[in-house]
Chains A and B, each alone.
Chain A
Amino acid sequence: MPELDGNALAGDLAEVFAVEMTAARFTCGGCRHSGTVATLRVWTPAPGVVGRCPGCGDVLLRLVRTPRSVFVTLGTTRLELDV
């Protein structure tokens, strides 16, 4: 399974958010590591993607698409967005 980084999420995030998200900063709730979203470790098992903290490996972001919606999970909060 190829390991990518948050740059690879930029397109999916840009379908949902109006600001460029890979330049946004995150702070990991687990280890307090902070960095830009572009530096998350990303695995892409279809049909979704998972972004992990480069400091501790915790899952910080999940993105799953269906034909009508995108589910974005940040921490334990899941957003369902119509696209």
Chain B
Amino acid sequence: MVRAALPGRLSWRAGTVSAVRQETPSARTLVLEIPDWPGHLPGQHLDLRLTAEDGYSAQRSYSIASDWSAASGQVEITIQRLDDGEVSPYLTDVVEPGDQIELRGPIGGWFVWRATQPAPVLLVAGGSGIVPLMAMIRDRGRRRARQPFRLIYSVRTPEDACFADELRRRVRDDPGLDVHFVYTRKTPDGWPTPPKRIDVATINSHGWPPDFAPDVFVCGPTSFVETAADILVALGHDPKKVRTERFGGA
């Protein structure tokens, strides 16, 4: 069912999967071609709707992983498979290049980073919460922006880290970007600490001091976001400077 779009309002449209890229054994990136995409800001997401032949439909939100440049025109989303999930296994295992997907976007205007924000930035990601934060890192890199960025990225095991090679390369090539991993189940060989969850010491040592008044973005499963945001506020960060996005789940 297609209706005329109201000016200024969002409406559903079709996108085509032009390529897929496996990021980890359980996460995959879909590269989407979306006619007339107006561009997006890092941190925005899109909504995706799957409809079965019997009319049953399921809708989910996915953050945009890519930074926008009109030259490339690309929109990428990265999906973490939840084995018991309804939608994510379809996106990670079934969808192929050439398939069409119904979507709307770009969406959101609060959980976004704009290169005009002068403050240093702290990014705190749990699992797939890396996706919108990666768009911010990529946008900063493409613009050669000067704001110092620190990323704290919590994953279960080294194999679960998305974009690991790209992050390593960017730490080398993008001046002012630091990345610290937290491993909750299994660490790489020789890692100085046993597996642990994100805690006060981690954010204290690898974040910015509250006096620097950083812009903070926290994203991931709901319980992760709440833990990290509580720690940040307890450490003295202004709650108004701590922007959060909950992906759901435990």
Contacts and interface: CB of A to CB of B under 8 A. Distances in A.
Interface residues of B, number: 27
Contact of B248 (A2, A6, A20, A38): A2
A5 B244 contact: yes
A2 B108 CA distance: 20
Contacts of A38: 108, 110-111, 243, 245
Among B7, B246, B247, B249, max chain A CB count under 10 A is at B246
A39 B108 CA distance: 12
Among A7, A8, A10, max chain B CB count under 10 A is at A7
B108 A3 contact: no
Nearest to A17: B9
B248 A11 contact: no
Interface residues of A, number: 23
Interface secondary structure of A, over-half rule: mixed
B16 interface: no
B242 to A, nearest CB: 10
B105 interface: yes
Interface string B89-125: 0000000000000001101111100000000000000
B222 A20 contact: no
A20 B105 CA distance: 12
B10 A7 contact: no
A52 B213 CA distance: 28
A10 B249 contact: no
Contacts of B108: 7, 10, 20, 22, 38
B10 A23 contact: no
22 contacts: A3-B246, A3-B248, A4-B222, A4-B246, A4-B248, A5-B244, A7-B110, A7-B246, A8-B61, A8-B248, A11-B105, A14-B10, A15-B10, A15-B11, A18-B9, A22-B109, A22-B110, A22-B111, A23-B110, A38-B111, A39-B244, A67-B1
Given A10-B45, A15-B10, A22-B109, 13 more contacts: A2-B222, A5-B245, A7-B110, A10-B107, A10-B109, A11-B10, A14-B104, A15-B104, A17-B9, A23-B109, A38-B110, A38-B243, A39-B244
Interface of A: 2-8, 10-11, 14-18, 20, 22-23, 36-39, 67, 83
